[in-house]
Structure 1
Amino acid sequence: MGEAEALGATMFERLGGADAIDRLVEAFYHRMDILPEAKGIRAMHGRDLGPVKQVLKRYLSEWTGGPKLYTPEKGHPRLRQRHVRFPIDVAERDAWLLCMRGALEETIEDAAARHEIDESFTKLADWMRNQAENPHDTRGHI
């Protein structure tokens, strides 16, 4: 157990606070712009990523235990409901995780925190799927 964990630091603090969240989101969307594997998920976004970057920064700040910047503006996250108009299958999940994992590696120094947040992101990304992989997989159906 690291010192930050022992002291009960929030994930927000362990990641490096607001500056780290900003760097993480910028690195994430940069990867989405340049990686061929992310072309499909990039197409789900508007041309200008500025507004969506701000939303993700606010969400991640709150989700990791930092300042509550998302819910006062947007209300309950309702992530699946907000993303239901986008077909999210294994390929989209994997592309999102590829971008996020690269961004984590680039921006977060604390390896334990990086591993823990990656586990959480992996569960979240899988939960966001709304398309079945095959006819016998009903997990993706809403």
Structure 2
Amino acid sequence: MAEDKHNLYERIGGEEGIEKLVTAFYERVLAESDLAPFFEHAPMDRLKTMQKEFFSEALGGPLFFSGRSLRQVHAGKGIQKEHLRRFVEILLTTLEEEMDDFGLTRQDVDQIYSRIAIEADRLTDDVTESG
């Protein structure tokens, strides 16, 4: 299969596809009343640049995330697991609804979702309870 020789970054459309994904994704995130307040004072151009780097790296592209660790960036912001769960659900919805436009298969969408969801525990302020 020719498709197997390309990584997810190439299959989503490279830099242009990542740009489109980040734009569509943040339109949805900012429309969410539970999530929009987290971005109220955020420099959106910088945030989108960092998100493009993050997605590029996660999908095997040439850009690498150049910011501080995800945990450092998000610490103290009050992000709880339910916020992050909704954030990742929006990513999945965006990928599913734009799947044909991105030229992705269901398997591609599942792989992208899995790669991004792995980072979830690093982003919240939830404290693990101990015995």
- TM interval, shorter chain, is 0.7 to 0.9
Deviation at 1:120, TM superposition (A): 1.8
Match of 1:17 in 2: 14
CA-to-aligned-CA distance 1:28-80 (integer Å, 9 cap, x gap) = 11101223xxx233211126522211221122112322122533xx4xx5111
Match of 1:120 in 2: 115
- Aligned length, in residue pairs: 125
Structure 2 residue identity aligned to 1:17: G
In 2, Cα distance between equivalents of 1:47 and 1:82: 12
Match of 2:46 in 1: 51
SS of corresponding position for 1:138: coil
Structure 1 residue identity aligned to 2:7: T
Structure 2 residue identity aligned to 1:115: D
Q: Cα RMSD (Å) of the superposition?
A: 2.3
From 82, 86, 90, give the equivalent of 2:77. Answer: 86
- Is contact 1:25–1:103 with CA below 8 Å preserved after alignment? no
Structure 2 residue identity aligned to 1:97: V
Q: Which runs of 5+ in 1 are unaligned?
A: none
- Is contact 1:20–1:107 with CA below 8 Å preserved after alignment? no
SS of corresponding position for 1:120: helix
CA-to-aligned-CA distance 1:82-105 (integer Å, 9 cap, x gap) = 111212222111221122112211
Structure 2 residue identity aligned to 1:79: L
Match of 1:4 in 2: 3
In 2, Cα distance between equivalents of 1:128 and 1:11: 23
In 2, Cα distance between equivalents of 1:13 and 1:110: 13
1:29 has 2:26 as partner: yes
SS of corresponding position for 2:21: helix
Structure 1 residue identity aligned to 2:3: A
User: Which TM-score applies when normalising by structure 2?
Assistant: 0.79
Question: Percent of counterpart pairs with the same letter?
Answer: 23
Q: Which runs of 5+ in 2 are unaligned?
A: none
User: Which TM-score applies when normalising by structure 1?
Assistant: 0.74
Structure 1 residue identity aligned to 2:37: A
